Amino acid sequence: MNQHGEGTSSHRLYAGAFVLGMLLTGCAGGPSQDGPSWTFVPITDVSMVAGEWDGMVKKDKAVIPEAMVRLTIKENGTYNFIGQRFTDVALGSGFLETRDGRLSGDTDRRIAIFALYDHQGKAVLVVDSTARQTGEQYHSELTRAK
């Protein structure tokens, strides 16, 4: 490398490859709810998960999170969400029903399954949904909003 900084591009390339590799390693394999630190908590009543939840939503197991999402669930079974990316905002709502220890939401736009887990003493609401028109799948791991 000379005094004008030539040669630094190769260092940046290696650093970029290292960061990308770490992201791929950290996100590979999709949801990790099968691990020993995850305990499935059957949802017997919507009130168990009523309130506000925050987290990231990933599209089709993408490496980089697609959007931030805020989900609000009311005790009467209705829910609404707002997802925000750099370029747009997505809104949605629906009604949840209890099924086999999970919640199910089925609208004309999407099908969603909500499952509750205890992960190292923290409640995590896992939401997997599929867009009806496109078949695109989304995965979220949400924690209670502060």
pLDDT (tens digit per residue) in 9-65: 333 333 333 333 333 333 333 446 767 889 999 999 999 999 999 998 888 766 555
User: How far is 146 from 142, CA to CA, in rounded Å?
Assistant: 12
- What is the predicted pLDDT for the residue at 21? 32
Tokens for 28?
Answer: 């590979």
Residue 8 has pLDDT above 50, yes or no: no
- What is the predicted pLDDT for the residue at 31? 47
- What is the predicted pLDDT for the residue at 10? 37
Contacts of 78 (CB under 8 A, 6+ apart): 93, 94, 95, 96
- What is the predicted pLDDT for the residue at 65? 55
Task: Kindly give the residue spans of alpha helices, DSSP state H, lying in the chain.
Answer: 8-27
State the residue for tokens 């009543």: 45
Domain limits, the chain? 1-30, 38-144
CATH 3.40.50.970 fits 38-144, yes or no: no
- What is the predicted pLDDT for the residue at 62? 66
The helix/strand/coil state of 104 is: strand
Mean pLDDT is lowest, of 8-17, 60-69, 136-145, for 8-17
- What is the predicted pLDDT for the residue at 63? 55
Model pLDDT for residues 104-131, shown as the tens digit of each residue: 999 999 999 999 999 999 999 999 999 9
- The length of the chain in residues reads 146
